[in-house]
């Protein structure tokens, strides 16, 4: 009964009903048995009450200032991301399998980064084509040969997953640069505990509030050898015009570290210092939320006023740790993504536990031909795009949009990949006329420090609020939900 095919038309939208994570495939009268209690809660709580709680949560978010800016939308400089009151739930065994896959994948991502900026064995041994790595703008030759402490490059990864059935999880993309959204994971949970306390009595939900401690431990664990026993960490933001500024200040507050802009930092003698009223203070670890291009004008974009001159020299000298390390963008390029099964096998000797979605690399002529012939069925993405920008969803696109993408693909095929339109799972979501199924994706946050990889039991669930829509990005009208990870029966799982 479940969609068996890994991809293709049997799980394609419109051909078969999507899997609902609470109601299953049998409709809302026969929910999945493990979640029958949650289904009863949805039925028993009047829509007006759900709506009241949802508005209370959104009012609190607005008061906190959890807003984001929408690029290209002059009317709405700052909005809150809509919040949905019905949680999304992972069973303990589902989560255990997912976590294993995430750990394996993030270990491979770090091994890959350490290799491509060093010996590049994976290219020499013919696993990846040289131009895919070295011709890629996300590969930064400026930092070749430099090694971050403990060989950790991508300390914070956001791995975007989608689900098509009870045990069918797929990685949709890896975010290894500066993934955002963790503040929503934490704020959504606080709101749920306040507004729906009964759910936390009915279910043993793994707490997520240990995230910031875990992050601080991770940051300190990768401090440079000369930093001493209490390394000084900071969060570097491009400033309050950035769409994720709220999250930058939220994280700095919760970590108990300074929030700084480039102008607050100086490099002297290959050491980074922070200017304070009391004089300058040495900085050991920088959690940067700015792109590589804006880190250091002497090495990257010379016209950038945002950067810290000398920062890369301090990094190369081993006097400061940059989180994530410069150059990690190569690991979240979507053409590289299509090789992740080979990358995992190359570094771990194992098969990837989390599959990827079938991907046509438009740089390859046969793939391009197939994609051009099936534009109305496929999702087409820029290899280095994010936020749902530069993306075509074939089944819901207009003829004009398809024609524009066709022209773009023919002109610059190497910039695009295409994937089948998956029947993303749905989760019951409060709409205007009661609770209805809406498509979701999921971004868990994976931390890597000196002693290994950790997965926070939770993450950011994004929901496409429009009926039938598959685009969950907040910049494109998506909302968020809390993500419950249920604890197993054995008490030791709590640890």
Q: Which stretch binds another protein (CB under 8 A): 142-150, 215-223, 360-368, 446-454?
A: 142-150
Count interface residues toward another protein (CB under 8 A). 30
Cα dihedral sign for 95, 101, 103, 109? negative
Cα–Cα distance, 216 to 210 (Å, whole number): 10
Cα–Cα distance, 477 to 438 (Å, whole number): 13
> What 3-state DSSP class applies to 322?
strand
Burial category of 260 from C-beta neighbours within 10 Å (exposed 0-12, middle 13-18, buried 19 and up): buried
Describe the crossing of helices 47-64 and 182-195 by its angle, rounded to 10 degrees: 130
Least CB distance to another protein at residue 136 (A): 8
Among 149, 207, 210, 309, binds another protein (CB under 8 A): 309
Q: In the structure encoding, which two tokens stand for residue 480, read together?
A: 């968020």
Q: Is 146 in the site for another protein (CB under 8 A)?
A: yes
Q: 269 or 467, CB closer to another protein?
A: 269
Least CB distance to another protein at residue 141 (A): 5
Q: Is 372 in the site for another protein (CB under 8 A)?
A: no
Burial category of 317 from C-beta neighbours within 10 Å (exposed 0-12, middle 13-18, buried 19 and up): middle
Q: 266 or 382, CB closer to another protein?
A: 266
Cα–Cα distance, 438 to 194 (Å, whole number): 24
Contact at 8 Å (CB) between 308 and 293?
A: no
Q: 189 or 415, CB closer to another protein?
A: 415
Cα–Cα distance, 480 to 441 (Å, whole number): 10
Q: Which stretch binds another protein (CB under 8 A): 28-36, 143-151, 221-229, 444-452?
A: 143-151
Q: 141 or 197, CB closer to another protein?
A: 141
Least CB distance to another protein at residue 311 (A): 10
Cα–Cα distance, 471 to 455 (Å, whole number): 25
Q: Is 226 in the site for another protein (CB under 8 A)?
A: no
Site for another protein in 97-116 (CB under 8 A): none
> What 3-state DSSP class applies to 363?
coil
Binding mask 257-276 for another protein (x = CB under 8 A): ---------xxxxx------
Contact at 8 Å (CB) between 428 and 41?
A: no
Q: Is 123 in the site for another protein (CB under 8 A)?
A: yes
Least CB distance to another protein at residue 488 (A): 47
Query: Of 471, 474, 477, 458, whose CA–CA distance to 182 is shortest?
Result: 458
Site for another protein in 419-438 (CB under 8 A): none
> DSSP assignment, residue 437?
E
Q: 125 or 492, CB closer to another protein?
A: 125
Least CB distance to another protein at residue 461 (A): 38
Least CB distance to another protein at residue 137 (A): 8
Site for another protein in 17-76 (CB under 8 A): none
Least CB distance to another protein at residue 107 (A): 24
Among 26, 135, 226, 434, binds another protein (CB under 8 A): 135
Among 313, 391, 440, 471, binds another protein (CB under 8 A): 313
Q: 247 or 296, CB closer to another protein?
A: 296
Cα–Cα distance, 191 to 85 (Å, whole number): 9
Dihedral of CA atoms 13, 381, 401, 403 in degrees, nearest 10, equals -110
Residue 85, H or E segment: strand 83-90
Among 72, 126, 145, 491, binds another protein (CB under 8 A): 145
> What 3-state DSSP class applies to 99?
helix
Q: Is 190 in the site for another protein (CB under 8 A)?
A: no
Among 3, 224, 310, 479, binds another protein (CB under 8 A): 310
> What 3-state DSSP class applies to 182?
helix
Query: Of 323, 153, 226, whose CA–CA distance to 311 is shortest?
Result: 323
Cα–Cα distance, 362 to 380 (Å, whole number): 9
Least CB distance to another protein at residue 290 (A): 16
Q: 123 or 382, CB closer to another protein?
A: 123
Q: 297 or 428, CB closer to another protein?
A: 297
Least CB distance to another protein at residue 279 (A): 14
Q: Which stretch binds another protein (CB under 8 A): 37-45, 168-176, 237-245, 294-302?
A: 294-302
Among 143, 196, 265, 283, binds another protein (CB under 8 A): 143
Among 139, 360, 416, 442, binds another protein (CB under 8 A): 139
* Exposure class string for 449-486: b at 16+ Cβ within 10 A, else e: beeebbbbbbbbbbbbbeeebbbbebbbbbbbbbbbbb
User: What strands lie across the sheet with 360-361, from one edge to the other?
Assistant: 360-361, 416-420, 378-382, 391-393
Least CB distance to another protein at residue 296 (A): 9
Q: Is 120 in the site for another protein (CB under 8 A)?
A: yes
Q: Which residues bind another protein (CB under 8 A)?
A: 120, 123, 130-131, 133-135, 137, 139-146, 266-270, 297-299, 302, 309-310, 313, 316-317
């Amino acid at each position: 009964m479940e969609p068996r095919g890994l991809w293709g038309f049997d799980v394609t939208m419109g051909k078969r009903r999507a899997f609902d994570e609470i109601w299953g495939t049998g409709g809302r009268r026969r929910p999945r048995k493990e979640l029958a209690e949650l289904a009863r809660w949805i039925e028993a709580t009047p829509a007006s009450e759900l709506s009241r709680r949802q508005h209370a949560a959104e009012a609190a978010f607005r008061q906190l200032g959890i807003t984001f800016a929408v690029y290209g939308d002059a009317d709405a400089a700052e909005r809150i991301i809509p919040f949905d009151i019905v949680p999304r739930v992972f069973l303990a065994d589902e989560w255990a399998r997912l976590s294993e896959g995430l750990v394996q994948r993030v270990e491979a991502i770090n091994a890959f980064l350490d290799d491509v900026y060093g010996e590049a064995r994976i290219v020499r041994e013919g696993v990846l084509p040289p131009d895919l790595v070295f011709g890629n703008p996300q590969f930064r030759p400026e930092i070749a040969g430099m090694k971050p402490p403990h060989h950790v490059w991508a300390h914070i990864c956001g791995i975007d997953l989608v689900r098509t059935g009870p045990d069918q999880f797929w990685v949709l993309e890896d975010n290894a640069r500066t993934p955002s959204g963790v503040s929503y994971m934490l704020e959504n949970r606080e709101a749920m505990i306040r507004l729906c306390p009964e759910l936390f009595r009915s279910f043993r939900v793994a707490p997520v509030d240990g995230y910031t401690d875990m992050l601080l431990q991770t940051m300190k664990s990768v401090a440079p050898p000369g930093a001493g026993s209490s390394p000084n960490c900071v969060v570097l933001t491009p400033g309050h015009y950035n769409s994720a500024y709220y999250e930058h200040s939220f994280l700095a507050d919760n970590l108990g570290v300074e929030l700084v802009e480039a102008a607050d930092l100086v490099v002297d003698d290959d050491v980074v210092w922070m200017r304070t009223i009391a004089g300058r203070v040495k900085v050991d670890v920088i959690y940067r939320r700015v792109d590589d291009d804006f880190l250091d004008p002497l090495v990257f974009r010379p016209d950038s006023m945002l950067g810290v001159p000398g920062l890369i020299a301090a990094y190369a000298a081993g006097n400061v740790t940059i989180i994530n390390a410069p150059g990690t963008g190569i690991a979240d390029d979507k053409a590289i993504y299509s090789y992740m099964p080979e990358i995992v096998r190359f570094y771990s000797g194992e098969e990837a536990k989390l599959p990827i979605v079938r991907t046509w690399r438009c740089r390859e002529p046969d793939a391009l031909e197939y994609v051009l012939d099936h534009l109305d069925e496929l999702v087409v993405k820029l290899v280095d795009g994010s936020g749902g920008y530069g993306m075509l969803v074939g089944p819901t696109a207009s003829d004009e949009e398809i024609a524009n993408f066709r022209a773009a693909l023919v002109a610059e095929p190497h910039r695009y990949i295409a994937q089948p339109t998956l029947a993303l799972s749905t989760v019951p979501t409060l709409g205007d006329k009661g609770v209805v199924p809406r498509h979701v994706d999921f971004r868990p946050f994976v931390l890597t420090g000196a002693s290994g990889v950790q997965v926070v039991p939770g993450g950011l669930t994004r929901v496409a609020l429009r009926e039938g829509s598959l685009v969950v990005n907040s910049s494109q009208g998506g909302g968020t939900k809390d993500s419950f990870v249920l604890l197993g029966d054995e008490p030791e799982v709590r640890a």
